[in-house]
Structures are given as structure tokens and as C-alpha cells.
Amino acid sequence: MTNPTQTNQKLPYTPLNSDPQNATNPVLYYDPNASIDDIYECAVFRLQAIISLLKNLDSYKNDPETINALISISTPLINEALTLLEELNPIALKLRLEIHP
């Protein structure tokens, strides 16, 4: 078996924030070389999915098991969206400085 840390270091991917992954070594990654549009679209898709889940939360307010499941689903989606938006932040700052020096 190969060492996961060595394998991960060879990949051109960046790990998502590791806290919600509940693992010593992150297993979820994204491609920081993807186009800005693709990164943005992916983040927006995840946020839309979370919003859709949370809109349905009201109908399950008396079912703690379902609420816990929704929380478990929402946490990694929010983490992924946040990681992707953080990837775009330096680009957005650079564009703002070019527009308003």
C-alpha cells in the first residue's frame, strides 16, 4: 500500500478544508487550475443545493433524525462552497484593484 501523504503530494489538486472531512489526511480535493467560471459554478451549485435542503427543513422540524441527516449533508456542501469561494477571493481582489486602483 502506498503512503497516502506521498500520493497526495504528487497530485495537482488542493485539499478542501479538512475539518469537515473527519479524517487525518484529507480525501476531498479540487483542481485549483480549473477555470474561474467552473470554480464559481461549482460553489454556486453547492450553495443552491444547501438552500434547497434548508427550505425543506421546516417540514421536518419534529423529526430529529431527519434534521441530523440534513445537517450531515449540509456541512460538507458548505465547506466545499467556502473552499471554492476562498480560492476565488484573491482573483476578485486583484480585479477590484485593477478597476479601482
Q: Which domain holds residue 74?
A: 35-101
Within a domain: residue 11? no
Does a structural domain hold residue 78?
Answer: yes
Residue 40: inside a domain = yes
- Contact, 81 vs 50, CB < 8 A? yes
Instruction: Determine, yes or no, domain membership for 21.
Output: no
Provide the sign of the torsion angle of the four alpha carbons 78, 42, 24, 74, taken in this order.
positive
* 45-49, 60-64, 87-91: which is most confident: 45-49
> 2 lies in a domain?
no
Residue scoring higher pLDDT (3 or 19)? 19
Q: Is 86 inside any structural domain?
A: yes
| Amino acid 6: pLDDT | 47
Put simply, whether the predicted model's pTM sits higher than 0.85 gets the answer no
3-state secondary structure of 23: coil
Instruction: Decide if 29 is inside a domain.
Output: no
Domain count, the chain: 1
pLDDT for res 10 = 55
Cα 92 from Cα 14, distance rounded (Å): 19
Residue 9 falls within a domain, yes or no? no
